[in-house]
Structures are given as structure tokens and as C-alpha cells.
């Protein structure tokens, strides 16, 4: 809630269907020099891998990027205003301007997608400028122009349409001159040779192609494919190793280096186990061939990296909740026989991203749950964390987008949400994750899946209700987690508005609510609205044809939340399938079509970009004359195009 935070520009430029955001790395300056230096080399290792994902996404991507980036200076000079006097007609001038504008949009989209295909939709997007114009002014060979401008060539990065040869019809660059059938046969055979109980991810780090007529794997190691940049990654990992926080973390790095040098997927498994067990250090990182969504057959892994450190403040918050878990359990409005006698809170791990790269840049996930190899997850567990500063950036950026102003009932509501909303959102998540899911118990003989398809909605409702109930409890003020007894109202406004109105923007007109978190939110808000009708606790208000939610009695609303919590816990504890079904079907599923139309129309007017990505901060190592790092500075001023052009210049060697 610090003042200076508000002056930070979380939103940057917007183009096509994309919105660029910035994330803050608060707490970086307070890290030790050793930790900062560790992060510095890890982020160098991260940035050096950027080109791998470009090549993995499509074999022409790097060449297209080069052609486009080489044309950038042509787009800024000479000054076109001056050309007017050179006898350029008005129309020709306008056309030139238009082509230039479209050039920038296209290049920015290509940067965003790490290639010429939409990062989410997978389809090839087309330049808005003309081929003739571009080939006249830029150095663009016919072969490249053909890939860029011919809509029929390489038109889908990952094709999953049944009946097609998925390998041949996908533009991704994991296979060359091989058919889907050949690939499948090839890896089935290889898999037979793996350890049955502990299978490695066969083929995860190779390109399957043809050599002298035979199938051949080009392996991605420091000595083979991608060797030049993998060497740079290894070089920086080795530098980072000296500043690792403990010996186990050094071992993690050693195994990763060995994997990059030798390429054995079994080494990658060893690395993953060491990594998942290394939970002590503040600084942590992912660097490797991780996700397989970019391959239609799910065999090949795309390269990505994120460097991060634990959010001490957020982790303190979750520790406070955890330490008081028993108090919360004892004081909940739930029937005593459904309570846990001994409850253990979970400490949720919140991290801050320090750099994003590869398949996590600029579009990023907001949580990490790795490793992916199933047997390692089963035997050694996984790391599951939320990336707090990315979520924060989304929230902060959303502030200016008009949503709150459009959907909040009035100024009082807007003020409360603006004052407390971000913080109570975080606290809501903590209560939900650390206490909500872990509270309560099943009666003996009741099976965990007694509620069947309604189980997950009831479970999410239970956790949300637990959080909502306690947000309005003076205990949180006493524990120092909330500043006063008004803050919780932000959460109530947000939850009710979302459950009754705004979450509908994510659903297509005519559809019902399917997703269990969304069903839970609708269920809670609609149940409270209906139960509170007589006492006028909360109401729908229509103004100029627009629907708003108005809460009239917050304390009574809290009591209703408590009543519903008690009922939902009873349903869960006793496995009352019929009651679960009634609650969910009556309150959580159906959508009033007129209201839905209204909400969608209001949302469309706000013109919010559906996809978002991040601009990275810049790290600068300050060195003494012996070349030792004596400090690392972080800054946020770099522009999107500036950053992309710098990365291409400084971290490119393929
Ligand atoms: Zn949950």
C-alpha cells in the first residue's frame, strides 16, 4: 500500500489483441550482494536461451526476425514529412504511412509470439503491409516473403485436428521430413528401452529428422544443435554456481550443466529431483526444456526460464495464518462435529519473478507447478508456487482499464476497492489456500468423492467462504494482517460483483457456467443475494439500463456467509450429494441471458486487450577494476521495442 507503488507504470503499449505490462521486483535491492550476483548470472543464462524458442516455434522465425529488425532503421528515416516536398503525392504519402504503421504492429506481434504464429491461437498472422512495398524497401528474399505473405504456407504452429498428419501439418520445428507415424513408431521403440518404473522423457531434447534416408535425432547440447547459445547458458550457470545459496543448489546447477553438455534425459530427471528437493534457498530458477505444448505429439519440450526469489513479506503473512490455524478452526461457524480437532495450516509459497525468458516471455504463466515427469511428482513431489509480482501487475494494470468504474455501484464502493482491494485480494487467496482447503473433516465412512461432479465446486466454495468469513473478523486486525475494520468490505464488494456480474464476461453468450471456481463464486453471491432479500442485505439496482450490486448491510452479509459456510461444510462432511447438487444447480450454473447480454456489451465498450505479456526489468552489474561485481542495479525504464532489439543484438548467436 506504499505510495510510490502507484506511480509505477504497470501498463505499457497496446497493439493488435495484446497489452504489454511491467512487473516490479520489490525486495531486490534488499537482497545480499551474493544473492543479487546469483540472480544476475542466472538472468544472463535465461536471456541467452531466447533464440531457442524462436527456432523451435518455426524454422523460419529467426530469419524473419532478422529481416524485420534489419528494416527498422528504414522505418524511422528519412523524415516522411520532408518527403512531401519531394513531390510525393498525398495518397502515396498516406499509403507509406499506413505500411509503416502496419510494419510496427507486425514486428511487435512477431516479437510477442516468438515467431509468426499467434502465441495462443497458433494460427499464422498476416502482415498488414503489402509484400511489394516491403520487398522494395527492405532486404527480404523471396523465400522469406513467401513464408510471411502466403496464407497457405505453414499456417498453423501446432495442429491438433484429428485425421491430419499432425507432424506434417504443424509449422513447429521439432521434426523434419518425417511423418507422424514414423515419429510414433520411433519413440515407441525407444520407450521400450526405458526403465518401466522411472521412465525418462524420451526424445524431449532432440529434433527428429532424416539422414541418409534413416531417421536421425539431432540432439540439443552444447556440441550440437543450439550449441552456441547452450554454451553461453552453461557459461553463465557456472558463474552463477559460485554464488549459489547452498551445496544442494550447486548440485542442481551441476546436473543441469551436465544435461546441457551430454543431453541424456535421465540426467534431466536427476536434475529435476535435486531441484524439487532444494526448497531452502531464497533464490530459485527454472532453466531448461520444460513444456511440451508446442509439439502436437507432446514429446519435444520448449525452452524456457524464470529466475525468482521468495516473497518474504507474503510468506510471513501465510506463516502468521498457518501459526494460528487452530484458532481459526475453533472459531468458525461450522458445527463442532465437522471441525478438525487438530489442524495444520499450509504455508503457501509466493515468489517474485526477476526475469522471464523463452516460452515464458513476454506472455507468462502466473504459477509454476513442476517438474512435469509424473513419476518424479509421485515419488519426490513438486514445487507449486504463485508468482506474486506478475499477479500484482495484472491487478494494477486492470485498475486503469475501466472495469471497476463501469461495474461498481458508486463512488463509495470504488474508493474502498481502490484503497484496500489489492491487499484484501492477496489475503483472500492466502486464507483460501492456507486455511480454507485444510479446514473441516469428513465424518467417518464418508468418501472423499461422495459429491462426485459437484465436489470441486463445493470444495472451492468452502475455501472461499472460509476466507470471506474471516476477512471480516477483528482477529485479522489484531494479527496485524488488516489495517482496520473497513478493509474487508473491498473483498465483499469484489466477490459479490464478480459472482453476480463481472465473471460473466469470460463466458460466451448462450453458454452456462461450467468451471468450478466460477460456479462457486456465482453460488455464494446468488445465495447471499436471495437469502438476504427480506432484510435488504444486498440488492440489484438498475440505473440507465445498467445493473449494479449494492451491499446495504455488510455485517449481516458476513453472517449469511457464515451460515452458508456451515451448510457447505455439512454437505462436505456428510457427503450429502443431493444437497450439493441442489445448491450448485440452483445457484451456480444458469445465467440470465438478458443480464449476460448487458454485461458483455458493457465489457466490449471497455476495449480491453484479451492477451497480456511482460516487459522485463533490466539488470546492470556494477564492477570494480578487478572485474568483481560489487552491486547489481535494477531498472524498469526500457521500452518494449528497445528491449526486443537489445536482446536480439546482445543475446543472439544462432
Ligand atoms: Zn481453491
- What one-character-per-residue DSSP string does 186-216 give? HHHHHHHTS-SSS---TTTTEEEEEETTEEE
Report the alpha-carbon distance of residue 463 to residue 328 in Å, rounded.
13
**What's the gap in Å between 432 CA and the centre of ligand 1?**
6
How much distance in Å is there from the Cα of 255 to the middle of ligand 1?
35
- Tell me which residue of 278, 57, 280, 274 sits closest to 173, measured CA to CA: 57
β-bridge partners, 309: 283, 352
Ligand 1 center to 460 CA (angstroms)? 5
Please tell me the distance between residue 436's alpha carbon and the centre of ligand 1 in angstroms.
Answer: 8
517 C-alpha vs ligand 1 centroid, how far in Å? 8
Supply the DSSP symbol for 282. Answer: S
Give the Cα separation of 407 and 410 in Å (integer): 9
Give 250-267 as a DSSP string. HHHHHHHHHHHHH--HHH
Residue 593 Cα to ligand 1 midpoint, Å, equals 28
DSSP string of 359-396, one letter each residue: TTSSS--SEEEE---HHHHHHH--EEEEEHHHHHHHHH
CA 468–ligand 1 middle distance (angstroms): 13
Predicted pLDDT of residue 3: 40
CA distance 112 to 596: 32
Comparing CA positions, the residue from 236, 239, 234 lying closest to residue 223 is: 234
In the structure, ligand 1 is a single-atom ion and the residues with CB under 5 Å from it are 460, 463
Q: Which residues of 150-178 are buried (b: 16+ CB within 10 A; e: fewer)?
A: eeeebbbbbbeeeeeebbebbbbbbbeeb
Q: How far apart are the CA of 565 and the centre of ligand 1, in A?
A: 15
**Cα 615 to ligand 1 centroid, rounded to whole Å:** 29
pLDDT at residue 5, rounded to an integer: 46
Q: How far is the CA of 465 from the centre of ligand 1 (A)?
A: 11
Give per-residue burial for 571-610: e unless 16+ CB within 10 Å, then b.
Answer: bbbbbbbebbbebbeebbeebeeeebebbeebbeeeebbe
Region of poorest pLDDT, from 211-215, 388-392, 397-401, 455-459: 397-401
Distance 462 CA to ligand 1 centre (A): 9
Q: How close is the Cα of 230 to the center of ligand 1, in Å?
A: 39
Distance from the alpha carbon of residue 463 to the mean position of ligand 1, in angstroms: 6
Output the pLDDT for position 79.
61
Average pLDDT, rounded, for the chain: 94
C-alpha grid cell for residue 30?
534488499
For 443, which DSSP code?
P
What band does 351 get if pLDDT is binned at 50, 70 and 90? very high
pLDDT at residue 348, rounded to an integer? 74
| C-alpha of residue 415 to centroid of ligand 1, in Å | 28
- Going from the Cα of 516 to the center of ligand 1, the distance in angstroms, rounded, reads 10
CA of 560 to the centre of ligand 1 (A): 21
Give the distance (Å) from ligand 1 centre to CA of residue 424: 16
Classify 627 as helix, strand or coil. Answer: coil
CA of residue 311 to ligand 1 center, whole Å: 21
Q: Are 244 and 257 in contact (CB under 8 A)?
A: no
426/436 Cα distance (integer angstroms):
14
Give me ligand 1 centre to Cα 384, in Å: 13
Helix (H, G, I), strand (E, B) or coil at 621: strand
Instruction: Give the residue with greater pLDDT, 79 vs 583.
Output: 583
How many Å lie between the centroid of ligand 1 and the Cα of residue 369?
A: 15
Distance CA 137, CA 605 (A): 38
β-pairing verdict for 302-310 and 350-358: antiparallel
Give the count of beta carbons closer than 10 Å to the beta carbon of residue 620. 11
Please give the distance, rounded to the nearest whole angstrom, from the Cα atom of residue 427 to the centre of ligand 1. Answer: 13
pLDDT band at 4 (very low <50, low <70, confident <90, very high): very low
Contacts of residue 363, defined as CB under 8 A and 6 or more positions apart, other chains included, come to 112, 119, 120, 611, 612, 613, 614
Distance from the alpha carbon of residue 438 to the mean position of ligand 1, in angstroms: 10
In this prediction, what percent of the chain has a pLDDT beyond 70? Answer: 97
The partner residues of 540 in beta bridges, in order of sequence, read 549
Question: Rounded to 10 degrees, what is the CA torsion of 568, 570, 574, 577?
Answer: -30
- Tens digits of per-residue pLDDT, 300-332? 999 999 999 999 888 888 889 999 999 999 999
Band (649; pLDDT cuts 50, 70, 90): very high
pLDDT for position 93: 82
Expressed in angstroms, the distance from the first to the final Cα of the chain is 45
Q: Give the lowest-confidence range in 116-130, 236-250, 428-442, 523-537.
A: 428-442
How far away, in angstroms, is 493 Cα from ligand 1 center? 20
Question: pLDDT category, 84, cuts 50, 70, 90?
Answer: low
> How high is the pLDDT of residue 457?
95
Q: Are 35 and 644 in contact (CB under 8 A)?
A: no
Q: For 132-173, what is each residue's pLDDT tens digit?
A: 999 999 999 999 999 999 999 999 999 988 899 999 999 999
Residue among 260, 272, 285 at smallest CA distance from 35: 285
Residue 82 has pLDDT above 90, yes or no: no
Q: How far is the CA of 196 from the centre of ligand 1 (A)?
A: 34
Q: How far is the CA of 433 from the centre of ligand 1 (A)?
A: 6
Cα–ligand 1 centroid distance for 24 (angstroms): 26
Asked which of 22-26, 92-96, 439-443, 611-615 is least confident by mean pLDDT, the reply is 92-96
Rounded distance from Cα 257 to ligand 1 centre (Å): 37
CB neighbours of 437 closer than 8 A, spacing ≥ 6? 346, 459, 462, 463
Average pLDDT over residues 252-271: 98
Residue-wise pLDDT for 522-563, tens only, equals: 999 999 999 999 999 999 999 999 999 999 999 999 999 999
Residue indicated by cell numbers 501439418 = 169
Given a cut of 60, is residue 1 above it in pLDDT? Answer: no
User: Could you tell me the distance, in angstroms and rounded to a whole number, from the CA of residue 178 to the centre of ligand 1?
Assistant: 44
- Nearest CA to 417 out of 406, 427, 425, 428 is that of 425
Q: pTM (2 decimals)? A: 0.83
Give the contacts of 579 (CB within 8 A, at least 6 positions apart).
567, 570, 571
Give the rounded percent of residues in the chain with a pLDDT score beyond 90: 83
d(CA 386, CA 222): 32
Amino acid at each position: 500500500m506504499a505510495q510510490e507503488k502507484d506511480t509505477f507504470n504497470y501498463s505499457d503499449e497496446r497493439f493488435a489483441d495484446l497489452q504489454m505490462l511491467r512487473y516490479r521486483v520489490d525486495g531486490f535491492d534488499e537482497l545480499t550482494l551474493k544473492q543479487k550476483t546469483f540472480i544476475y548470472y542466472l538472468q544472463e543464462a535465461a536471456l541467452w536461451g531466447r533464440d531457442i524458442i524462436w527456432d523451435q516455434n518455426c524454422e523460419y522465425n529467426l530469419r524473419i526476425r532478422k529481416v524485420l529488425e534489419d528494416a527498422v532503421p528504414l522505418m524511422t528515416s528519412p523524415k516522411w514529412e520532408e518527403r512531401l516536398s519531394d513531390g510525393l503525392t498525398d495518397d502515396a504519402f498516406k499509403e507509406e504511412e499506413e505500411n509503416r504503421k502496419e510494419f510496427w504492429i507486425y514486428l511487435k506481434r512477431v516479437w510477442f509470439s516468438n515467431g509468426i504464429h499467434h502465441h495462443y491461437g497458433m494460427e499464422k498472422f498476416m502482415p498488414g503491409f503489402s509484400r511489394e512495398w516491403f520487398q522494395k524497401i527492405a532486404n527480404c528474399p523471396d523465400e522469406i516473403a513467401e513464408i510471411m505473405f502466403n496464407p497457405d504456407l505453414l499456417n498453423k504452429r501446432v495442429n491438433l485436428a484429428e485425421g491430419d498428419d499432425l507432424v506434417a501439418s504443424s509449422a513447429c520445428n521439432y521434426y523434419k521430413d518425417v511423418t507422424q507415424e514414423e515419429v510414433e513408431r520411433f519413440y515407441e521403440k525407444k520407450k521400450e528401452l526405458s526403465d518401466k518404473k522411472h521412465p525418462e522423457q524420451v526424445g524431449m531434447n532432440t529434433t527428429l529428422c532424416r539422414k541418409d534416408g534413416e531417421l536421425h535425432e539431432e540432439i540439443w547440447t552444447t556440441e550440437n544443435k543450439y550449441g552456441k547459445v547452450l554454451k553461453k547458458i552453461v557459461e553463465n550457470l557456472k558463474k552463477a554456481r559460485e554464488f549459489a545459496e547452498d551445496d544442494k543448489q550447486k548440485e542442481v546447477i551441476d546436473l543441469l550443466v551436465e544435461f546441457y553438455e551430454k543431453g541424456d534425459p535421465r540426467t534431466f530427471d536427476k536434475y529435476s529431483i535435486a531441484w524439487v528437493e532444494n526448497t531452502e534457498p531464497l533464490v530459485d530458477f527454472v532453466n531448461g526444456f520444460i513444456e511440451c505444448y508446442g509439439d502436437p505429439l507432446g514429446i519435444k519440450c520448449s525452452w524456457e526460464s524464470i529466475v525468482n526469489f521468495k516473497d518474504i513479506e507474503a510468506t510471513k503473512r501465510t506463516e502468521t495464518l498457518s501459526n494460528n490455524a487452530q484458532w481459526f478452526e475453533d472459531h468458525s461457524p461450522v458445527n463442532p462435529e465437522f471441525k478438525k480437532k487438530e489442524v495444520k495450516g499450509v504455508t503457501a509459497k509466493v515468489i517474485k519473478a526477476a526475469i522471464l525468458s523463452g516460452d515464458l516471455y513476454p506472455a507468462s504463466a502466473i504459477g509454476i507447478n513442476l517438474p512435469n515427469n509424473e513419476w518424479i511428482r509421485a515419488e519426490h513431489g513438486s514445487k507449486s508456487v504463485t508468482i506474486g509480482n506478475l499477479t500484482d501487475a495484472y491487478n494494477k494494470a486492470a485498475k486503469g482499464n475501466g472495469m471497476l468504474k463501469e461495474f461498481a455501484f458508486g463512488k463509495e464502493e470504488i474508493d474502498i476497492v481502490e484503497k484496500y482491494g489489492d491487499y484484501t485480494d492477496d489475503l483472500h487467496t492466502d486464507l483460501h489456500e492456507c486455511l480454507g482447503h485444510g479446514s473441516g473433516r469428513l465424518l467417518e465412512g464418508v468418501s472423499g468423492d461422495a459429491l462426485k461432479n459437484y465436489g470441486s465446486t463445493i470444495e472451492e466454495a468452502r475455501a472461499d467462504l472460509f476466507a470471506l468469513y474471516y476477512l471480516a473478523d477483528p482477529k485479522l486486525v489484531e494479527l496485524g494482517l488488516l489495517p482496520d475494520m473497513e478493509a474487508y468490505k473491498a473483498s465483499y464488494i469484489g466477490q459479490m460483483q464478480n459472482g453476480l456480474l463481472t465473471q460473466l464476461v469470460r463466458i460466451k453468450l448462450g453458454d452456462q457456467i461450467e468451471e468450478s471456481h466460477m460456479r462457486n463464486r456465482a453460488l455464494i453471491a446468488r445465495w447471499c443475494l436471495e437469502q438476504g432479500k427480506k432484510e435488504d442485505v444486498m440488492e440489484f439496482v438498475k440505473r440507465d439500463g445498467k445493473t449494479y450490486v449494492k451491499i446495504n448491510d455488510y455485517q449481516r452479509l458476513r453472517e449469511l456467509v457464515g451460515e452458508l459456510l456451515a451448510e457447505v461444510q455439512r454437505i462436505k462432511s456428510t457427503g450429502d450429494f443431493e444437497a450439493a447438487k441442489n445448491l450448485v444447480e440452483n445457484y451456480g450454473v444458469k445465467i440470465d441471458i438478458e443480464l449476460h447480454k448487458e454485461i458483455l456489451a458493457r465489457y466490449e465498450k471497455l476495449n480491453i486487450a484479451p492477451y497480456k505479456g511482460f516487459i522485463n526489468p533490466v539488470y546492470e552489474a556494477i564492477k570494480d577494476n578487478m572485474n568483481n561485481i560489487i552491486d547489481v542495479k535494477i531498472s524498469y525504464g526500457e521500452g518494449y521495442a528497445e528491449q526486443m532489439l537489445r536482446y536480439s543484438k546482445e543475446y543472439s548467436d544462432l
